[in-house]
Structures are given as C-alpha cells and as structure tokens.
C-alpha cells in the first residue's frame, strides 16, 4: 500500500514542457504546491511503515537532514548534486548553477569535516568550473591532469572555433587566442620530441603562434634520425617548407654518423647533399689519406658517377680528377693521364699532404720507354718538386722530430723521404734529356 501511494505521488509530480504553453512562473507555483502537499503527508506519517520509501520521499521534498545523510555516504561532492537540484530547484537556470554548486559544496564539506574547496581533486575542480561556466578555470584544471595535454588542447581549440570561450579581462591570464596558440605550441613541441610523431608536431606548430612557425625549423633540425630513410623523410619535409638550413644540418649529421661507422661512400654522398665545403673536404681527405696508406681508391663506382657535382668543392674536384687520372693510366692512355696529371699539379687545389703521392705518380710516366711528358711539362714537375714537395717534407720532418716520431714510408715509396726526391730528380733529368733530343730533331 505504501509503495502504491508513493507511486501515485510521483505520477502527480508536475513536469515542465517548453512546448506545452506552461510558463516558468506557473510551473514553479505548481511544484511548490505539490511539494508542500507531499511534506504534509510525510508529517502525518503516511509513509512511516516503509522507512526506505519515506526517506526517498523526504529527499524528493528537499529535506535537509535526509540530504545531509546522503552527503555523508557520497564519495565526491557532485555525486548527488544533480538529484538535489532536480527535486529542489527543477527550474534552475544555467547561470544559477554556480551559486547552487557553491552552496551544495559547502554543505557536502561540512558533513565530511572539511573546509570548503580543500581536498578537491582535479576532476572535482573541473566539474565545479563547468557548473560556474568558468572556462578559464576549467582549462587550468585540465592542465593539472597527468595526461599528454591532448584533451585540453583540442577542447580549447573546439571552444575557440565555436566562439564559446570567454576569459575575463580582469584576470591576469592570457587572452583566448594566446591561450589556444600557447597550448598548440606546447603540444606540438612535445610531439616533435617524440621520435615517430614529429610530422604531426609540425602540423600543430603550423597553427600555433608565430613563435611556433619559427620553432618548426629549429625543432625539425633536431629530429633524431637513425638511418638514411628517416633522414630523407626529414629532408623531404624541409624542402617542401623551404628550410634549406635544416636540410644542410641533417646532411651534416648523417656525414658524421657515416664517418663514425666507417661508411665513407655514404658519408661522401651526404656531404655532397649538404653542399658544405668543410664537410666535403673532410670526407674527400679520408679518401685521399686511404690512397696514401693503401695505394687504392675507395668506392670507385661512386667517384665515377659524381659528374658535375664535383664542382661543389675544390677538394672534391681534385679527388674526382685524380680518380680520372688513375682511370686513364689503367686504360694505358698514358698521354691523357700525363696531361691530366700536369693540370692537377698546376691547379692550386692540391692538399699539402698529397704532394708526395701526386709527384710519385709522375715517375712511371717520366720513365716510360717513349717520352710522354714534353720538356715544358717536365720543368713544371721540377718546379713543384723544389717549391712544394721539398718544403713539405722538411716541414713534416720537423714536426715528427718535435713529436719524437721516426721517419715513415711515404706514398708506397720504401725508404726515407730523400729517396723520393732523388728518384724524382733522376727521372726528370732522364726524361728531359730524351724529350729535348726528340723535340730538337728535324726529320727531312
């Protein structure tokens, strides 16, 4: 019987319908009358036979003691707040929610023996900020959450685009636009530091503040690359955005990585891509040093296909032309080999440490059965012997003496440096005498 009475009371509860032609004032009047009648029935003990039902009816009428008991059993302040509003303030307006939330929070805190607003977790503060329509506080509360900021970034961006975010001018915080751009900047920067997410980070920074557009170039150059494929991917993005400096920086990083792995062919390719004279010179010197020590050229296929790129740096030009000299010599095209070698001697792009090797290569041509090098070119060889090789050997001898290092073999020539000088002088003298005889002989 008690349950039937309770059900009957609930069925007579006024319900507001915006399309029913019922005004707010009339609805409030009907609710007040219905609630007062229910309170009278409670006081008369109509539901006393079923304490649980009676307690429910007390909650519906907004009985303070009943709701205080509910607060004690709740885990968070907003757990029963919606029910409290529904039965006590059914016609509440959205701009009034903040006031009622504060009152309810004070009541809930008192039952828990806490001070108001103390001990609230991030989610508690977020719900309170939503009810107060305080979007700025909501955003700051979300930022305190231990996630990766994805939620707050996209929430703010959505609110800004919907024109639903307002920040009081009296607050010391940033403007709406500055807040959105700042969050996008921070989130994009964070993604740029996560290896596989850097491309997404670039997109976020694109729509952030002007500082974000500038930061893209700096952060893109710092993207960690572990192999050539990743490096090419970064370079492709840099080229698309016109970031030439980033492209060069990535190439320099790959040059260093390849050198550390002793992959000198790959290092030379990356150095050429970088168009950095210093790095190209460094790698080319490795090729030349290897030839000085081993008597063979590294990565011949690569050197044979450099083409016009050799003009990027003088040292690369010298390396490729010196390789061409060896190609002529191995093909027994001695005249072309001699001509190219003489041009290299007069090119003024020869690294100082390579003079012994370069002049040593003239010996087989000077000692050829038939004179290949004319007198004028022989004098050029003799000039460089006296003005370049001998001063270099003397300088090297002084440096080795200071470091207490014994004379070492030079460019595959056994013996002391003086042996190379004597051999060159003798070869020049022989070739000069034969060439002069041939050049001054008239055939009739």
The last residue of one of the domains, among 274, 289, 319, is 319
340 and 299 within one domain: no
Q: Cα 182 vs. chain centroid, distance in angstroms?
A: 18
Does one domain contain both 216 and 279? no
Do 276 and 255 sit in the same domain of this protein? yes
| Average pLDDT in the chain | 86
Q: Are residues 336 and 430 in the same domain?
A: yes
Strand, coil or helix: what is 284?
helix
**Residue 306: inside a domain, yes or no?**
yes
Spatial separation of the C-alpha atoms in residues 170 and 186, rounded to whole Å: 25
Categorize the per-residue pLDDT at 322 as very low, low, confident or very high, splitting at 50, 70 and 90: very high
Read off the pLDDT band of 410 (50, 70, 90): very low
Instruction: Assess if residue 49 is contained within a domain.
Output: no
The 10s digit of each residue's pLDDT in 369-392 is 888 899 999 999 999 999 999 999
Q: Residue 407: what pLDDT? A: 53
338 and 438 inside one domain: yes
Within a domain: 259:
yes
Residues 140 and 232 in one domain: no
pLDDT band for position 411 (cuts 50, 70, 90): very low
Residue 345 above 70 pLDDT? yes
The answer on 158 and 177 residing in a single domain is yes
> In the predicted model, is pLDDT for residue 431 greater than 50?
yes
In a domain, 142, yes or no: yes
Question: How many structural domains is the chain composed of?
Answer: 3
The per-residue pLDDT for 58 is 87
Mean pLDDT, to the nearest integer, of 144-162? Answer: 81
pLDDT for the residue numbered 173: 55
Residue 443 has pLDDT above 70, yes or no: no
Residue 341's pLDDT is what?
94
Span 319-346, average pLDDT = 94
Residue 425 and residue 355 in one domain? yes
Per-residue model confidence (pLDDT) at position 21:
67
Would residue 15 count as lying in a domain? no
Residue 271 counted as domain residue: yes
Indicate the pLDDT class of residue 167, thresholds 50, 70 and 90.
low
Residues 6+ apart with CB under 8 A from 257: none
Top pLDDT among 269 and 182 is at 269
Same-domain pairing of 313 and 251: yes
Same domain, 275 and 344: no
338 and 389: one domain? yes
Structure tokens at 280: 């190209």
One domain, residues 202 and 234: no
How far is it, in rounded angstroms, from Cα 325 to Cα 288? 14
324 within domain boundaries: no
Which of 224, 247, 275 is the C-terminal boundary of a domain?
Answer: 224
| pLDDT tens by residue, 193-234 | 887 889 899 999 988 888 888 888 889 988 888 899 999 999
Q: Please report whether residue 73 resides in a domain.
A: no
Q: Which one of 264, 294, 319 terminates a domain? A: 319
Tell me which residue range forms the domain holding 343. Answer: 332-444
Considering the entire predicted model, what is its pTM?
Answer: 0.68
Query: What pLDDT shows up at residue 316?
Result: 96
Q: What mean pLDDT comes out for the span 153-166?
A: 83
């Amino acid at each position: 019987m008690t349950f039937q009475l309770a059900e009957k009371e609930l069925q007579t509860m006024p319900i507001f319908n915006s399309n029913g032609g019922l005004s707010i004032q009339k609805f409030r009047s009907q609710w007040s009358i219905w609630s007062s009648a229910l309170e009278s029935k409670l006081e008369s003990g109509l539901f006393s036979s079923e304490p649980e039902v009676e307690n429910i009816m007390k909650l519906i009428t907004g009985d303070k003691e009943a709701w205080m008991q509910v607060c004690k059993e709740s885990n968070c302040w907003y757990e029963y707040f919606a029910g409290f509003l529904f039965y006590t303030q059914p016609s509440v307006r959205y701009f009034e929610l903040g006031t009622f939330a504060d009152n309810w929070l004070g009541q809930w805190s008192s039952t828990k023996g806490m001070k108001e607003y103390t001990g609230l977790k991030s989610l508690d503060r977020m719900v309170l900020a939503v009810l107060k329509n305080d979007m700025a506080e909501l955003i700051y509360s979300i930022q305190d959450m231990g996630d990766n900021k994805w939620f707050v970034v996209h929430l703010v961006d959505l609110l800004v685009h919907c024109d639903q975010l307002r920040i009081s001018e009296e607050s010391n915080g940033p403007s709406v636009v500055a807040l959105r751009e700042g969050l996008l900047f921070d989130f994009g920067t964070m993604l740029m530091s996560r290896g596989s997410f850097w491309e997404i980070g670039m997109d976020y920074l694109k729509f952030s503040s002007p500082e974000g557009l500038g930061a893209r170039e700096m952060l893109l150059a710092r993207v960690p690359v572990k192999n050539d494929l990743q490096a090419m991917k970064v370079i492709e993005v840099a080229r698309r955005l016109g970031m030439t400096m980033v492209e060069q920086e990535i190439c320099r990083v790959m040059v260093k990585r390849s050198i550390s792995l002793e992959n000198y062919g790959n290092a030379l390719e990356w150095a050429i891509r970088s168009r950095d004279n210093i790095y190209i010179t460094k790698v080319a010197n490795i090729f030349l040093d290897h030839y000085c020590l081993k008597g063979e050229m590294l990565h011949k296929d690569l050197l044979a296909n450099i083409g016009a790129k050799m003009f990027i740096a003088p040292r690369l030009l010298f390396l490729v032309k010196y390789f061409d000299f060896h190609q002529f010599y191995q093909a027994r095209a001695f005249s072309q080999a001699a001509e190219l070698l003489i041009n290299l001697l007069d090119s003024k792009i020869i690294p100082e440490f390579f003079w012994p090797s370069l002049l040593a290569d003239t010996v087989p041509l000077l000692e050829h059965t038939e004179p290949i090098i004319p007198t004028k070119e022989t004098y050029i060889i003799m000039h460089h012997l006296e003005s370049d090789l001998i001063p270099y050997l003397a300088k090297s001898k002084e440096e080795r003496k200071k470091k207490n290092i014994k004379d070492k073999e030079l460019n595959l020539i056994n013996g002391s440096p003086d042996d190379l000088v004597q051999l060159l002088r003798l070869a020049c003298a022989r070739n000069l005498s034969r060439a002069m005889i041939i050049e001054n002989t008239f055939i009739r």
